[in-house]
Chains A and B, each alone.
Chain A
Amino acid sequence: MFQRLWLASVAQPLHPLLSVACAAVALTFGLLLRDATTLLTFVAGLGLIFMMVGYGVLLARIARIVIPLAALIGVLAALFGGGMSGGLMTFGRINLLGLTTAFAWTIDPTQLARALRQAGAPPLVALSLLITVRSIPTLVGEAVRIRDAMRVRGLSLRHTPLRILYRALVVPLLIRVLTLSESLALALETRAFTGDPCATIYRPVALHGRDYATLALMVILMSGVAGVPWLCN
């Protein structure tokens, strides 16, 4: 739901599985770096890759929130005994966290589900992701109906005993979860779903040049960041 806003700023997102992989790898790599300068160089490098790949606007939006936050926590860390290097490390790490989250923000659940199926995951796994995302608005709608039902019945925080109020909230929601899952399971079956991995994938997600480029750039960056100090020694 919130993703819609952010996705709009990225015209052509990367392949979803690549995004996940990059985020994971970048994070692990970044956390293993021992000194502040290398870390900050790495983070800056990542930012550059973002811009080259077309995520510039997204980067700007994230930077606006993350950099001040990281600075604040970094200063606190420095003051509380980390010293300059400790503060910079923390600053770097929070920024890293923010950047890798950006990878995640560009993932569209439909694309992720398709990519998972292409990668060989059982169709039911991809489908359950879709079902979960799909059901959230339905259940939020039920919550709204429940609120209306409570108003119409005159139930309110002030006048109704808690055990009745809680039932009025929870029981209809649970019932909707049960009826919804039965209805969905039936819908799957009546559309001939058997979990067969050989079923067609309507719009498979392709790997574009952009994806390969990102991969290459990441590799270069990481080897550069890791290699240079080693070379210098």
Chain B
Amino acid sequence: MALQLTISHLRFRYATASEWVLQDVSLDLRGGEFVVIAGTSGAGKSTLLNCVNGSVVVYGEMHGQIALNGVALTGQPVAQIARSISTVAQDAEGQIVTLRVEDEIAFGCENLGFTPEAIQQRITRSCALLDLNPDQATSTLSGGGQQRLITAAALAMGTHVILLDEPLANLDAVGTARLLDTLRDLASHGALVIVAEHRLDVILPYATRLIWIEDGRVTLDLPHNEALRYVQRLIRCMTVVSVPDRQMPLDIAIELDSVSAGYAAVPVLRDITLTVRQGEQIVVLGENGCGKTTLLRVIAGLLKPQRGRLRYGLDRLRPLSRRIGYVFQSPNSQLFMDSVRAEIAVQAESAELVDEVVSLFGLASLSDRHPQALSTGQKRLVAVAAMVAMRPDVLLLDEPSVGQDARGVERMLAALGALRQKWGLTLIVVTHDWRCAGAFGERVIWINQGVIYRDGDASMLPDYFLRAYPCRDEVNR
């Protein structure tokens, strides 16, 4: 029963681009493995998964062979491949097709022709594993619930190969542990589990193999222990940031005094007291659902605190939208003009600032392109640039490194650093990515279950990113 997935000399390029996203990938994956695919660029990991399940082939040019147990997959229609390989893609909300949890889980099984009794069993099992209520309406699920649902729907199909693309999005600590336990269990029973994920700090303790893709090639292929050690080293190295010598911090930009905020009777954020000074660079860490995004929304004025006071110490003559800039996690909602330059200019303070921002962010070559035609990383850069062109005093960034390669993050960092020198731009960044946290983190705030757990400097970062790791002895064995 040795399951084998062979990828030979895979090359892939999208029709709209000229570079090869995957240049020469060869992998030999077996049943029983829990493989994590990582890499700095957003595109390569997802593209690899989508080549395996056949869904990306129509969008570009693919060379090479992919075979499952000797049978070639290349050329088969997606629905046919899906009978042996199930996929959990990104955008959980966009994959839910039905109106009830049980129907969603049943859907794949129906297509595979299982009997209603078999389907019933699978639904019960999946719901128990992933903590779902079969009668619940899908529209009432939280983000984490949606993620668990689409995973349950894929797992219920009972295929021996399971592909997951960023499955930890929106999952809190409990949900994450449940999911990873389930996946490890599946692998130990002979399934091949392949996960594309950037949150290596969380997932590697469960995985059996780490594959790193850089510039379209496999640059690393490590088994469990070595992978853990490698990433631990990475985390320790990247999170040592030298605090630049600046003068004493300046005036108070934002002050929260015992603020509680949320969307229902029980607030998500409880009793937050925080002072942000002008020119500070803050990284906010915490599990999904702990209140990080709620904090940003309160600061941006999108959500009124249920209790407590919020004060802004900035130029009161300017409207709040100009004092505080907020770039959402998904840049699509904030981009709407027909060229990058026009987008940045929409609410820009002046034409000179537009020019300056365009050159600072390295967007000159893209300035006539339509924002929607850009890659996710580029879109995010444009969204940040457009917000910055409003000359805010405080800039809030929600997961700015997702979909960005190392160069994109560096460019953003350089641009924002320059603006900080110029007009004392204050930065508050929410992130799960240790590279991003290391790059931006002078002050680090760790939020846990709605309260500020720790508030310190960059020396806190290794503690946060290594907390999921088994104890040192086990790793060094």
Residues of A participating in the B interface, judged by any CB pair closer than 8 Å: 109-110, 127, 130-131, 133-134, 137-138, 141-142, 145-146, 148-149, 151-155, 164, 167-168, 170-172, 175-176, 179-180, 183-184, 186-194, 196, 198-203
Cross-chain contact B139 with A175 (CB below 8 angstroms): no
The reply on B250 being an interface residue by CB < 8 A is no
Which of B102, B330, B334 touches A153 (beta carbons < 8 Å)? B334
CB proximity of B111 to chain A, nearest CB, Å: 4
Q: Mark B107-144, 1 if CB is under 8 A from A, else 0.
A: 11111111110010000000000000000001100000
Cross-chain contact B97 with A138 (CB below 8 angstroms): no
Q: List 16 A-B contacts (CB under 8 A).
A: A130-B97, A130-B98, A152-B387, A153-B334, A154-B390, A172-B336, A179-B91, A183-B91, A184-B97, A186-B78, A186-B89, A189-B77, A191-B111, A196-B111, A198-B113, A200-B113
Chain B contacts with A in 154-190, Cβ cutoff 8 A = 154, 157
Greatest chain B CB density within 10 A among A133, A183, A196 is at A183
Size of interface on B: residues with Cβ below 8 Å to A: 63
Chain B contacts with A in 72-117, Cβ cutoff 8 A = 77-80, 82-83, 86-87, 89, 91, 93-100, 102-103, 106-116
* Complex-state Cα separation, A176 to B347, whole angstroms: 23
List the 5 closest pairs (A to B, CB-CB), nearest first.
A183-B94, A154-B321, A191-B108, A171-B336, A187-B95
Cross-chain contact B321 with A184 (CB below 8 angstroms): no
Cross-chain contact A190 with B111 (CB below 8 angstroms): no
Which residue of chain B has the shortest Cβ distance to A172 in the bound complex? B333
Cross-chain contact B93 with A149 (CB below 8 angstroms): no
Which of A138, A145, A164 touches B94 (beta carbons < 8 Å)? A138
Chain B residues contacting A194 (CB-CB under 8 Å) are 79, 111
The reply on B55 being an interface residue by CB < 8 A is yes
Cross-chain contact A192 with B112 (CB below 8 angstroms): yes
CB proximity of A32 to chain B, nearest CB, Å: 37
Cross-chain contact B332 with A176 (CB below 8 angstroms): yes
CB proximity of A116 to chain B, nearest CB, Å: 14
* Complex-state Cα separation, A151 to B94, whole angstroms: 25
Which residue of chain B has the shortest Cβ distance to A108 in the bound complex? B99
Greatest chain A CB density within 10 A among B82, B328, B333 is at B333
Cross-chain contact B300 with A152 (CB below 8 angstroms): yes
Chain A residues contacting B326 (CB-CB under 8 Å) are 152
- Given known A110-B98, A153-B321, contact A192–B82 (CB-CB < 8 A): yes
Cross-chain contact B333 with A142 (CB below 8 angstroms): yes
Which of A146, A186, A191 touches B153 (beta carbons < 8 Å)? A191
The reply on B335 being an interface residue by CB < 8 A is yes
CB proximity of A178 to chain B, nearest CB, Å: 9
* Complex-state Cα separation, A180 to B96, whole angstroms: 10
Cross-chain contact B336 with A192 (CB below 8 angstroms): no
Chain B contacts with A in 20-74, Cβ cutoff 8 A = 53, 55
The reply on B337 being an interface residue by CB < 8 A is yes
Which residue of chain B has the shortest Cβ distance to A164 in the bound complex? B346
Cross-chain contact A167 with B337 (CB below 8 angstroms): yes
* Complex-state Cα separation, A155 to B111, whole angstroms: 47
Chain B residues contacting A184 (CB-CB under 8 Å) are 94-95, 97
Cross-chain contact B139 with A202 (CB below 8 angstroms): no
Chain B contacts with A in 317-355, Cβ cutoff 8 A = 319, 321-322, 324-326, 328, 330, 332-337, 346-347
* Complex-state Cα separation, A202 to B121, whole angstroms: 12
* Complex-state Cα separation, A167 to B116, whole angstroms: 48
The reply on B372 being an interface residue by CB < 8 A is yes
Greatest chain B CB density within 10 A among A131, A171, A192, A203 is at A192
Cross-chain contact B94 with A134 (CB below 8 angstroms): no
